[in-house]
Structure 1
Amino acid sequence: MMATMQQFKADFFKALAHPLRIQILEVLSTGEKSVSELQDSMNSEGSAVSQQLSILRAKNIVIGRKQGKSVIYSLKDPSIIRLLDAAREIFNNHLIDTVSMLEEMEEDKSF
C-alpha cells in the first residue's frame, strides 16, 4: 500500500511539473473557467493551454463539463488550492533565507 501511495504522489507531482499547468491551477483556484477565459487571463495561446489542460484532465486534477459549445474547467479537488498555497509558503521561506544570507554576507564585508 505504501508503494502505491508513493507512486500516486510521484505521478501527481509529475503532472504538476510545468509552469503553465501551475498557472492554470492558480487561475482555476478562483473559480471555473472556459478555455478562452483561461487563455485571456494567462495571455497564452489556445493550443498550449489546451495541451496542458489535457494532461491535467488525464491525471484527474481538473474536470471539464460541456456548456453549449464550450468546455468549462474546474479543479477536481479544492485541496489543490492548499497545496499551491503551501508551495508559495515554501518559496517565500526559501526567499527569506536567501535574503538573510545575503544580508549577513554584506555585513561580513563591512569588517
Structure 2
Amino acid sequence: MSAPLYQAQAEFFRALGHPVRIRVPELLQNGPLPVRNLLISTEVEASNLSQQLAILRRSGIVSATREGSTVMYALVSADVAGLLRTTRRILTDVIAVRGELPAKPREVKAERLR
C-alpha cells in the first residue's frame, strides 16, 4: 500500500527545507542552467551544492542531463516555480502584518532528509 498523499507532500516540502534547495528551483524557473552558474548564483561551496542538488534530484524536483562535459539542471515541473512564487507572496503578507520575517526555524541536519 502506498503512503497517503499528505505524507508524500510532507516529504516534498521537506526536500525544499533548506535555503539552497529553495534558491536552486528559483534560479531554474526561467529554464535549465549549468551547474557552474548555479554555483556562482548560490555562493556555496561545490560540495554543499552537490549535496543539495542530489536531494532535489532524488525528490523529483529537478533533473540533471549531461551536455558534453557540462551538467545541466532543470525543474521537472514548472509548478514548483509557481509554488515558490506563491510562498513569497504569503511571506510578504506575513511580513506586512508582523513587520518582520518569521522566526528562524531550527536547523535540520541533511542526514534526516536522505
Does TM-score exceed 0.5, indicating one fold? yes
Greater than 2 Å deviation, 4+ residue runs: none
Unaligned runs of 5+ in 1: 100-111
- RCO comparison, higher one (Cα < 8 Å, 6+): 2
Matched, 1:33 2:1: no
* Larger Rg belongs to: 1
User: How many pairs are equivalent?
Assistant: 98
Unaligned runs of 5+ in 2: 100-114
- Specify the alignment match of 1:81 in structure 2: 81
Normalised to the residue count of structure 1, the TM-score between the two structures is 0.83
Distance 1:27 1:47 in 2: 19
- CA RMSD in angstroms, aligned pairs only: 1.4
Deviations 1:29-50 (A, max 9, x none): 1221111110112222111111
Distance 1:30 1:78 in 2: 9
Give the number of the structure whose residues are more often helix, by fraction: 1
- Specify the alignment match of 1:15 in structure 2: 15
- Specify the alignment match of 1:49 in structure 2: 49
In structure 2, give the amino acid aligned to 1:41: S
Aligned to 1:63, what secondary structure does the other structure show? strand
Normalised to the residue count of structure 2, the TM-score between the two structures is 0.81
Distance 1:40 1:30 in 2: 17
